[in-house]
Structure 1
Amino acid sequence: GKVDEIIQGLHAGADPKLYFDLQTMQTASTIWQELKDFSNKMSTFHTTPGKPVEIDTSTGEILPGNDQVQQFLLSAT
């Protein structure tokens, strides 16, 4: 993997201060940690269904939805 490549590069004499992959590992680690934290938050995110709406994509208008659709959706959960 990537870590093995970095180790091989260092053994081959690469200067750690100039080795781009080594310099970016901390940044990548931070980003992956933030993605993991966000993913964990999303898996515990709860919503409360409200009244249904219909969105007319041609105009962007939001209209009251059909109550029968709401009943169907609530019965499916």
Structure 2
Amino acid sequence: MRVHTSRAVDAHGTLDMVVNNAGYGLFGMVEEATEAQVRAQLEVNFFGALRVTQAVAPVGRQLSLRGDRTSG
């Protein structure tokens, strides 16, 4: 993720927004889901979002320290 974040900043000079919405649903009765299915879903839905956030947070922090904020 950090490599892709760096490439985006290098190409565009900044990040204005990050859409962090990857995920999927696991349908059925909770007792029927296998541990492997639940772990795979958590890997995408939780850890995927975590990795994106960890990759872009330092960029946002640097922009904030430089005063490069967009008005809202």
Q: Normalization by structure 1: what TM-score? A: 0.34
Higher strand share: 1
Q: Identify the structure with the greater helix proportion.
A: 2
